[in-house]
Amino acid sequence: MNHSGTVMRSAVVLLSLTTLVSCGVIDAFSDDEAVRVYSGRHYDLEVAFEEFAAGTGVDVEFLYGGDAELRERLRTEGDDTLADVFMTVDAANLELAASEGLLQPMDTTNLDVVDENIVHPDGLWVGLSKRVRTIMYHPDRVEPSELSTYEDLADPRWAGRLCMRNSTNVYTQSLVASLIYHHGYDGALEVVGGWVANDTEIMSNDIVILETIAAGGCDVGITNHYYLARLLEDDPDFPVLPFWANQEGRGVHVNVSGAGITADADNPELAQELIEWLATDGQEAFVYGNHEYPVNPDVPPPPLVREWGEFVEDPLNASEFASLNADAIRLMNEVGYD
């Protein structure tokens, strides 16, 4: 292994899932020892991995693909997998990998900078960035004083004014799962049923929701915070603002992008080293490119989202709402949420 910390033969190798399907994982990855990542996260990994390689002398090779495809590949490969790290977005995807035995416990001693609510209780995965799913509104048509909670959007006064993400989206599922945890199944059923009764327009993309709000197609929506940041980066006058939900109660719903060490990792020590680096020294490289919130409190949020101020987070452990994902899907089907 090259530990020189200078110019390396191949600090970072990026492979697509189609590459692996066509030539096989054994041939696609190099023969040299490196930390190897299967990733369902597609944003700005190269920068972080290049910094890790430059600072440690450890090569990084990573494959990106769909979450379900990568989990299936890990199951199929079993002991023969070359993946050391499974990285993805949404706590439910991480929890699925953990519950299917695809991850092994990691030592969380050096990960105590990360809040307990985004670390698996058994150390099977850890959140590396925060994704806040909150209320978005048009300031010309909605006063902030009119807004309060996710639950309040079920009030009839919002009829015909809401845009939300479709039920097959993992972030929608996790938000509804958190409602089930806090209110019980029947209580969450009443809330989500109220959204549906308000003739909510269901969309397949967070960006489309925000653009529809801006264009006057609806007044209020729910999206991940960084989609608005991306639009504002391109157009500082984009006419949509965030509202941190449930600030007088449990706090706003927070999801994660995170990682765990694969159950059959050849290099679990290098996997641990990479994950620890991403949660500490590598936080800016990992979160700034996509305007996500850092999990390390010593790292300030990216400049654009920093302007939105501080907020109270729901302290619910992400593994708790992730474990209710199937119930959330069933609930949305029951009330006709598309």
pLDDT tens digits, residue range 200-231?
999 999 999 999 999 999 999 999 999 999 99
Residues 6+ apart with CB under 8 A from 159: 197, 198, 199
312 dihedral zone (left: phi>0; alpha: psi -120 to 50; beta)? beta
DSSP assignment of 260-311 = EEETT-S-HHHHHHHHHHHHTTTHHHHHGGGTPEESSTTSPPPHHHHTT---
Alpha-carbon distance of 327 to 321, in angstroms, equals 10
Alpha-carbon distance of 189 to 27, in angstroms, equals 49
The pLDDT assigned to 42 comes to: 81
Report the alpha-carbon angle 118-166-171, nearest 5.
5
The pLDDT assigned to 206 comes to: 98
Look at residues 172, 155, 180, 150 and name the one whose alpha carbon lies nearest to residue 338. 172
The pLDDT assigned to 24 comes to: 32
Cα within 13 Å of Cα(222), Cβ side: 32
What are residue 132's phi and psi, to 5 degrees? -90, 120
Q: Domains in the chain, ordered, with CATH?
A: 12-130+256-303 (3.40.190.10), 131-253+310-335 (3.40.190.10)
The pLDDT assigned to 30 comes to: 53
DSSP-derived letter for residue 150 is: T
The pLDDT assigned to 29 comes to: 54
24 dihedral zone (left: phi>0; alpha: psi -120 to 50; beta)? left
3-class secondary structure, 220: strand
DSSP-derived letter for residue 145 is: G
The pLDDT assigned to 18 comes to: 36
pTM: 0.90
Low-confidence ranges of the chain (pLDDT < 70): 1-32
Residues in the chain: 338
Alpha-carbon distance of 110 to 95, in angstroms, equals 21
**Tokens for 188?**
């969450």
**Tokens for 62?**
């990573």
The pLDDT assigned to 8 comes to: 29
Look at residues 186, 184, 221, 181 and name the one whose alpha carbon lies nearest to residue 205. 221
